[in-house]
Amino acid sequence: MNYIAKPVGSFYKDSACEFVVWAPQREQVSLIINDKTYPLRKDDLGYWSATIKEAGPGTQYKYQLDGDKILPDPASRAQTQGVHGPSSVVDPEFNWNDSDWMGIPLGEMIMYELHVGTFTKEGTFASIIPKLPYLKDLGVNAIELMPVAQFPGSRNWGYDGVYPFAVQDSYGGVKGLKELVNECHRQGIAVVQDVVYNHLGPEGNYLSEYGPYFTDKYKTNWGKAINYDDAWCDGVRSYYWQNALMWLDEFHIDGLRLDAVHAIWDVSSKHFIDELRMKVRQLEQETGRKKVLIAEFDLNNPRYISSPEKGGYGLDGQWVDEFHHALRSLITEDYSGYYEDFGTAKHLAKAFKDSYVYTGEYSKHRKKFFGSYPETNTFDQFVVFSQNHDQVGNRMLGDRLTHNISYEALKLAAAAVILSPYVPMLFMGEEYGEKNPFQYFISHTDKELVELVRKGRKEEFSYFKWEGEVPDPQGEETFKQCILSWNYEKDEKSNTLLSFYKRLISIRKGSRALQNKQRQSLNILFVDDATKVIALQRQSDNERMLLAFNFNKAQQTFNNSEKFKLKKLFDSSSKEWLGPGEITSSDESASIKLNPESVLIFEIQ
């Protein structure tokens, strides 16, 4: 027979609530509401269910398994009393007013990653809404929310979530998230939700009590592997497909960022990710709205984003860590840890041209030949950044680029990302040079677990040559100092940097050459490791641009060997941007002078 899964969770409709839970190996499952017990019925696939008339929105409940353990619903929509408390029935009704919203293709996005708890002092969905005009004025048209599934306590990155269907209560819960999405769409901003389908957090994780959600066949860095291909995996796969569709359909979310898909182990004839893509495409057809799927992985394997016709899983795009590594190591001269594989201008030039830096070459860090060339994948399938939650927060002190490089280099890093052929993503606050760190933080209640996390963080940084004390991840002060300061209006450099970002984004949006997604639209005109100069040509049918980057701390010269007739459009070293002053005239044809740590944009006439 075909596997036809039931929707799991609690569903209120027409003055009654249906409760459905998957527990295929249990002999008895009961629903408990206000100390009253209701027996559930089991079907052939292990789904237990009952419909209760007196259970309206706000009703709190738990399940009792085989007359013994009493636990929250693994598909709970709300945990108003925390991860160990009862689950709550939610009201599905919401007054959406985004009927004209059709979504935004990935290639047209200017993305902005934010953490709900530290984006504002209030740390809620509601407090993001007043900032939307600011983001729109910046040029952002898509925000990416770090995970919002219910986690222990009120402080967490979100990757310790243990109720994938429940929206973090301290952020504003179901209603708060829907109100945010509704308002984003009204203002022309898409919402991408970061989801974690490769593991669950340790505290409040009761899934294994209900069924074989985990497998010992594989290992992950974060805990037990999710069971996507072992015995009883059908119910597990359905659980996560339902979760993905819940965000995209019920919450009107425009896309999902799939965390660490390389840790979603599956050797089924049809990979979980492949089937997820099929279900999302079906939803697109039903709703008429674009839904974007972005994978995070560092395998330099285009399989996840290649079309099914070419043996791929057909996702819209992926994060590209190697662009970040090449840029950061070149601009900071930090070659520790995995940065030992990077650090030259040629590495970054290859990232500009080939998306991956390693496309079959030997990796010193991995001690093997690594990667393949994504020749059939267009530029708009790759998301790049100079900073993100991982690359800042997984540094020992959570220090941003603001602490490590000069003001001129901050502008240069911004230009490398925004003027790249890829989809640019900013990390909250970078656009005005936020100085507050973004560190790893938790608020677990299990003291033994807290000590294990503290120990693990210290061991994690032993490979890097970083000095100082590891911030206490459990400490409330660690969390508080990560909240954005929003002080750009009081600081000339911060305010100017913000204007600089706006101008770059405007230039990108206004140039056909800079928006061309085809691989032949970019050529490396010059790259030199000694001078740290990279020159790129970007082109479309009727427009050609020359971008000259100087990553050297000294003045350099780029020879226009092609004898292009050039008209200068932009100079990061201009006094307008608090730079040292322009040294290149508006129309150069031979030798082009480059200020230290600067970028020039020319139109090729």
Which is catalytic among the residues 194, 259, 354, 582?
Answer: 259
- pTM given for the model: 0.96
SS (HEC) of 78-90? CCCCCCCCCEECC
Catalytic residue status for 259: yes
Cα–Cα dist 50/62, whole Å = 13
Cα–Cα dist 313/305, whole Å = 6
Model pLDDT, residue 590: 76
Any bridge partners for residue 52, and if so which?
A: 17
- Give residues with Cβ within 8 angstroms of 458, minimum separation 6: 470
| Residue 480: alpha-carbon gap to chain centroid | 22
Low-confidence ranges of the chain (pLDDT < 70): 1-2, 461-467, 586-589
Domains and CATH numbers, the chain: 9-88 (2.60.40.10), 109-197+290-506 (3.20.20.80), 517-604 (2.60.40.1180)
- Annotate 504-552 with DSSP letters as a single string: HHHHHHT-HHHH--SGGGEEEEEEETTTTEEEEEEE-SS-EEEEEEE-S
Model pLDDT, residue 588: 63
Cα–Cα dist 63/86, whole Å = 9
**DSSP type of residue 171:** G
Model pLDDT, residue 461: 67
| Contact of 427 with 135, CB cutoff 8 Å | no
Burial of 135 (0-12, 13-18, 19+ CB in 10 A): buried
Model pLDDT, residue 467: 64
Catalytic residue status for 250: no
- pLDDT tens digits for 426-483? 999 999 999 999 999 999 998 888 898 888 877 776 655 566 788 898 999 999 999 9
SS (HEC) of 263-276? HCCCCCCCCHHHHH
Model pLDDT, residue 337: 87
Which is catalytic among the residues 169, 274, 296, 321?
Answer: 296
Model pLDDT, residue 514: 97
C-alpha closest to that of 599 among 548, 530, 536: 548
Model pLDDT, residue 466: 61
Cα–Cα dist 293/247, whole Å = 12
**DSSP type of residue 66:** T
- pLDDT tens digits for 503-536? 999 999 999 999 999 999 999 999 999 999 999 9
